[in-house]
Amino acid sequence: MSSAPSPAPSLAVDLPAPLPVATPGGRYDILIAPGLLANPAAWQGLPPAAQAVIVSNPTVWALHGETLQAALAPHYRRVSVALLPDGEQHKDLATLSLVFDHLLREGCDRRTVLFALGGGVIGDMTGFAAATYMRGIPFVQVPTTLLAQVDSSVGGKTAVNHPLGKNMIGAFYQPARVICDLDTLATLPERELRAGLAEVIKYGPIADEAFLAWLEAHVDALLARDAAALAHAVRRSCEIKAWVVGQDERESGLRAILNFGHTFGHAIESGLGYGQWLHGEAVGCGMVLAATLSAELGLVPAAYAERLHALIARAGLPVQAPAMDESRWFQLMRVDKKAQDGEIRFVVIEAPGRAAMVAAPDALVARVIRRHSAARP
């Protein structure tokens, strides 16, 4: 009996101009366009190897896994799959060990290439596994969420969480390529889309006032998944992040501005338990608090903080922090990576379109938390 005919190969479609990222840890391109998963041109020039491993979760794999596996098949003799449990609550050392278990069982060597197919959790864990397996193997980011496409897949920050602090165990390790297929956003749950908008919104107040104004005019189009609006939002966000990371790969100075809203946001995530709020939801709320803190410090007018508050609310993100003991807020913020000698430091808006990192009196920070918190002591 003859076998069924093989499907006709996909025809390569010309790619848009790649967005380069240049850091001391490596130069690589970000590709941003619809249809990249099935476009053979997107997969040319990958690191050579006999074997590739796709790291994903069952939800994303069911949607996009076979397409990626077919795209990689012409380039690697063997393509295996490691599926991890879904969710921020699984971004830990125990789950990371599942990746190492797979690599060792499959006999993966130092040329094996890892492909991170999924959102920020998958990207962070795959990158950390790549940074540490045999002291470093290549990996490619294939982000399928808005948050991952505009933030976590770019810049080489990889980490897992610890019960006492978010992203406290990790490494700086740059990918070989980032492939943002905009079509994957069509399958994104509404809550995940809104969470991703938080990381898009942050780029306006910290680096580009014109982009902030554009977001105010187009937030409804983004929520409606307008293709042109999403393409512009992803590309502009990646341009800003690439510019920042190119100047400060290891977050010794400028790169810290990318954490606007994150000191408060990480405390929310850790305090509630990972996975209760999505990362973008916590960052959105954290930006409201950070904007208010900026105004309280006299850096921007109160109207500017209210403007950000209104945009974050329009994006459908939480603007009121959860009930949490004040002492717990400060305990968690003091183990934030930006803290020094136990002193909490916050990214604030120094002026519209420009950010800075400052310390603030605990009493002032507590007042800001109380103003925006569900807890009213």
241 is catalytic: yes
Active-site residue identified among 91, 262, 345, 372:
262
Tokens of 16: 């848009």
**What is the distance between the alpha carbons of residues 159 and 129, in angstroms, rounded to a whole number?**
9
Class of domain 19-187 as given by CATH:
alpha beta
**What is the distance between the alpha carbons of residues 132 and 306, in angstroms, rounded to a whole number?**
44
Question: Please, which residues have CB within 8 angstroms of residue 210's CB and are 6 or more apart in sequence?
Answer: none
309 is catalytic: no
262 is catalytic: yes
135 is catalytic: yes
Residue with tokens 């014109």: 210
Active-site residue identified among 177, 266, 345, 372:
266
Question: Please, which residues have CB within 8 angstroms of residue 241's CB and are 6 or more apart in sequence?
Answer: 150, 151, 154, 155, 203, 258
Q: What torsion do the CA atoms of 98, 49, 117, 242 make, to the nearest 10 degrees?
A: 120
Active-site residue identified among 64, 90, 102, 157:
157
**What is the distance between the alpha carbons of residues 199 and 193, in angstroms, rounded to a whole number?**
11
Q: Output the pLDDT for position 5.
A: 33
Active-site residue identified among 255, 338, 345, 372:
255
**Domain residue ranges of the chain, discontinuous segments joined by +:** 19-187, 191-371
190 is catalytic: no
Helix (H, G, I), strand (E, B), or coil: what is residue 23?
strand
Q: Do residues 300 and 294 touch, judged by C-beta distance below 8 A?
A: yes
CB neighbour class for 331 (10 Å; exposed up to 12, middle 13-18, buried from 19)? middle
Active-site residue identified among 177, 235, 236, 241:
241
372 is catalytic: no
Tokens of 24: 């001391």
Query: What 8-state DSSP symbol labels residue 340?
Result: B
157 is catalytic: yes
CB atoms within 10 A of CB 71: 21
Q: What is the CA radius of gyration of the chain?
A: 21
The closest of 109, 189, 182 to 143, measured between CA atoms, is: 182
Q: Could you read off the pLDDT tens digit of each residue along the chain, which spans 377 residues?
A: 333 333 334 445 678 899 999 998 889 999 999 999 999 999 999 999 999 999 999 999 999 999 999 999 999 999 999 999 999 999 999 999 999 999 999 999 999 999 999 999 999 999 999 999 999 999 999 999 999 999 999 999 999 999 888 899 999 999 999 999 999 999 999 999 999 999 999 999 999 999 999 999 999 999 999 999 999 999 999 999 999 999 989 888 899 999 999 999 999 999 999 999 999 999 999 999 999 999 999 999 999 999 999 999 999 999 999 999 999 999 999 988 777 777 899 999 999 999 999 999 999 999 999 999 975 44
Helix (H, G, I), strand (E, B), or coil: what is residue 351?
strand
For 191-371, CATH number?
A: 1.20.1090.10
Bridge partner list, 358? 346
Helix (H, G, I), strand (E, B), or coil: what is residue 226?
coil
**What is the distance between the alpha carbons of residues 374 and 53, in angstroms, rounded to a whole number?**
44
**What is the distance between the alpha carbons of residues 42 and 34, in angstroms, rounded to a whole number?**
11
Q: Output the pLDDT for position 337.
A: 77
**What is the distance between the alpha carbons of residues 107 and 113, in angstroms, rounded to a whole number?**
13
**What is the distance between the alpha carbons of residues 377 and 370, in angstroms, rounded to a whole number?**
8
Active-site residue identified among 249, 251, 296, 350:
251
Predicted TM-score of the model (pTM)? 0.91
Give backbone dihedrals phi and psi of 167, rounded to 5 degrees, phi first: 55, 35
Active-site residue identified among 102, 235, 279, 372:
279
Q: What torsion do the CA atoms of 211, 212, 218, 219 make, to the nearest 10 degrees?
A: 130
Residue with tokens 């982000």: 143
Helices (H), the chain: 58-60, 66-72, 93-105, 120-132, 146-147, 190-201, 203-207, 209-223, 227-247, 262-272, 279-296, 302-314, 326-333, 362-371
Q: Do residues 216 and 304 touch, judged by C-beta distance below 8 A?
A: no
64 is catalytic: no
